[in-house]
Amino acid sequence: MRLLKLAIAVLTLVLCVAPGTAQNNTTIAIALEGGGARGIAHVGVLQVLEELGIQADMVTGNSMGAIVGGLYSIGYDSKDLAELVLGMDWPGLFSEPSSNENVSWSGRHNRALYAARIPFTRKGLALGAGLLDGNVALAQLDRLTIGVPSNTHFDSFNRKFRAVASDIINGESVILESGSLAEAIRASMSVPGVFEPYSINGRYLVDGLVLDNLPIDAARSMNPDIVIAVHLVDNEPVTPETLGKNPVQILRKTLDTFTDANVKRQLPNADIVIAVDITGLGTNDFLKAEELIYRGKTAAYAMRDILKPLASGSVPPARELPERLETLSISGGTTADRNLIRETLETSRGVTVDKKTLEELYHLLMQKNRYEQIRMQQFRNGDQRELVVTLTDRTYPGHEIHAGFFHEGTYFSDMATATAFTTGVTFRGLTGLFSELTVNTGFNGTMLTNAAYRQPLKEGLFIEPFFSWQTDSTASLYDTETDTQTETNNLSFGLLVRQALCSGSDLSFGWVQSRLDPSSLPDIPGSGELYTVSLFQAGLRMNLLDSVLFPMRGFSLDAVYRVALELPDSGDFFQVLSVSGMSILPFLGDYSLAFLWHAATDFTPSGEDAPASPLYYRPGLMDRRLFPGPLPLSARFGHTAAGLGVEVKRQWALASAFFSLPVFAFGAVSTGFTAKQRDDFTTVHENLVYSFSIGIGSRINEAFGISFRGGASLNTGDNPIPFFSVDIGSVIR
């Protein structure tokens, strides 16, 4: 019956339409299959249809088919679509934005400590309905579809359109035909486990791949004369050898089996099937867009003799999308951000909806880290077209379980290593909004237990009682002759008051009680003494870096002043000031120049060689950013220590379909000294140390990176000592 209908339609065209004319009344619907990146092949098919002069009146699609088909239906032509898929930031689309703006110092510090975070509630773990909430993708779709109202029927488009999705609650296939085109596409592309399901009209929707991956029936329901289905065919044979023992491959093939079943059921209802061979190309091969477009063109060209009779003579040019709307409405957001939106979009001629302007505004607002979601939509009210910008505030995080890991090792004629795993839990909102109780435990090279409670007194002002017990056990090689196993037991508790100054910085002061039981180190006077210390402590912390791991721009500062309180049973009086930080200047786009510094001094008068401060608080060159290689013990501790370094870094990206991995290459040189007595700097030149290194590294997130460095350490009067260092996990570089 289908073949008979097609033959009659084609015969009618041949007999009734004179060659070269541009008129026929045959209506054509195109059904586009879902398939992740493979769906980019649809663009190639559309290019050939346009070249042949075939005018599509209706389009249906699922997932990537819905993206291509939805945009095609509102006026994008095949050239526009090719430029879009070739220039799309696919890794950015499949990620969630992360910004340090409007994040406290503690918030940024915690990001650098815990690589894994799992939220939970009283009902159990709250793992979320998908890896991604899809807000980035929805915002992108909003901008791409800004030319059509979000309160309209899809029959009003250049080409009638239908998207399909699956209702995850009742297992029904859903045809989306009105409302927001961006939301319809977002629902249709909600791959289970990747994107959270999307709710439309009370229905919880996911990708239609299992129920209706190639929506031929949806196309047929619009009553076209001809239905052209674009079918994505993987001809790779399924054998035990191809499956192997890879569970991901087995899961994918199982899903393909269910998908193929619903596709094959509908294929007989299509009049023409364009089968695109996508063998060897995966659902995540977005970076192979050119090849996918070529595969689509090849398949369509192979069908040109069958397709030519459907030509109407020419395809109308793409519809010009509006550049301006009449009015602007803003919901939510701060006064400053609402003013920014108006200043950016409102002009004397109306409200601009230029996609580049909207994209720049979106990223500027997201960098403020205030908003969970930013929507930009067109709504029509009679003859008035209004741009509605909706800013949804970021929700305060709830309870979470977290875990972190770090390993640092330096290798030359021997090795020095330290490793620690940290797990913990944070309870939030126990005594009001923004209150936090954090409890951590650690093991391996570092045994620790600590707890801190942050209670807000008013906006930006907190009190923080804390408790900490920690044992550091580190194999430390300071030169070629000294192999020292150090162990320091530190029991501390106290109360701090913290005042947030601005984003990423705070000022603190308070009381700390510590009991220190360090190992004895050779040639370091007083290194093994047991201390009980009561301290007044004040500090200024600033973290304005773009990232804690491998920063490329920004500034950081950590200044701490400690003075011992003269109390019964306390140790000797001492007072120590330490300051460290970095300033990083970007240049030439992918490069940065960093200046790093560390300085500390013990102000306590002392007639002895040893400073009054216990070893745990003693000034020294212990900053691994400056000196990753071996140094003599004599250079590590003293009355005064100072170090300065310069680092040049280059960044580039290793891009894949779903993520972009930043890679860094760097070179650094640093020098420093220690003075053994407070007022005697005559022997500083004898204690100068130098470090030269080059390295490469990468980061997966703010709390997990890897760094390899090779170089040499040099002490005054000694030969250079080559070294190789490795840092993995929550290492701060």
Name the 3-class secondary structure at 209: helix
In terms of pLDDT, which residue wins out, 546 or 45?
45
The verdict on 366 and 254 lying in the same domain is no
Domain membership of residue 21 (yes or no) is no
The verdict on 339 and 464 lying in the same domain is no
The verdict on 460 and 354 lying in the same domain is no
The verdict on 303 and 337 lying in the same domain is no
In terms of pLDDT, which residue wins out, 429 or 60?
60
Which two structure tokens, joined as six digits, stand for 180? 């927001």
Is residue 584 pLDDT above 90, yes or no? yes
Is residue 505 pLDDT above 70, yes or no? yes
Question: Which of 345, 374, 393 represents a domain boundary (last residue)?
Answer: 393
Domain holding 382: CATH number? 3.10.20.310
Domain membership of residue 125 (yes or no) is no
Cα–Cα nearest to 529, from 564, 567, 565, 488: 488
Domain membership of residue 89 (yes or no) is yes
Which two structure tokens, joined as six digits, stand for 328? 């602007």
Domain membership of residue 206 (yes or no) is yes
The verdict on 479 and 592 lying in the same domain is yes
Residue keyed to tokens 């002061």? 509
Domain membership of residue 438 (yes or no) is yes
Q: What's residue 733's pLDDT?
A: 44
DSSP string over 271-293: SEEEEEE-TT--TT-GGGHHHHH
Q: What's the average model confidence in pLDDT over 509-530? A: 68
Question: Which of 393, 416, 440 represents a domain boundary (last residue)?
Answer: 393
Q: What's residue 475's pLDDT?
A: 44
Domain holding 511: CATH number? 2.40.160.50
The verdict on 427 and 516 lying in the same domain is yes
Q: What's residue 422's pLDDT?
A: 85
In terms of pLDDT, which residue wins out, 381 or 230?
230
Domain membership of residue 23 (yes or no) is no
The verdict on 545 and 442 lying in the same domain is yes
Domain membership of residue 56 (yes or no) is yes
Domain membership of residue 46 (yes or no) is yes
Segment holding 546, helix H or strand E: none
Q: What's residue 614's pLDDT?
A: 74
Interacting residues of 435 by C-beta distance below 8 A, sequence separation 6+? 428, 429, 453, 454, 455, 456
* Average pLDDT over all residues of the chain: 83
Report the C-alpha dihedral over residues 170, 173, 177, 182, rounded to 10 degrees. 80
Domain holding 232: CATH number? 3.40.1090.10
Q: What's residue 349's pLDDT?
A: 84
The verdict on 207 and 61 lying in the same domain is yes
CA angle 572, 576, 578 (to 5 degrees): 155
The verdict on 595 and 636 lying in the same domain is yes
Residue keyed to tokens 């003693």? 618
Q: Is the pTM of this model over 0.85?
A: no
Range of the domain at 631: 400-602+612-729
Interacting residues of 704 by C-beta distance below 8 A, sequence separation 6+? 115, 405, 549, 729, 730
Question: Which of 342, 376, 393 represents a domain boundary (last residue)?
Answer: 393
Q: What's residue 487's pLDDT?
A: 53
Report yes or no: 451 and 437 within 8 Å, Cβ to Cβ.
yes
How many structural domains is the chain composed of? 3
The verdict on 276 and 329 lying in the same domain is no
The verdict on 360 and 421 lying in the same domain is no
Is residue 324 pLDDT above 60, yes or no? yes
Interacting residues of 476 by C-beta distance below 8 A, sequence separation 6+? 416, 484, 485, 486
Q: What's residue 658's pLDDT?
A: 56
Interacting residues of 459 by C-beta distance below 8 A, sequence separation 6+? none
The verdict on 619 and 683 lying in the same domain is yes
Is residue 567 pLDDT above 60, yes or no? no
Percent of the chain with pLDDT over 70: 81
Q: What's residue 417's pLDDT?
A: 78
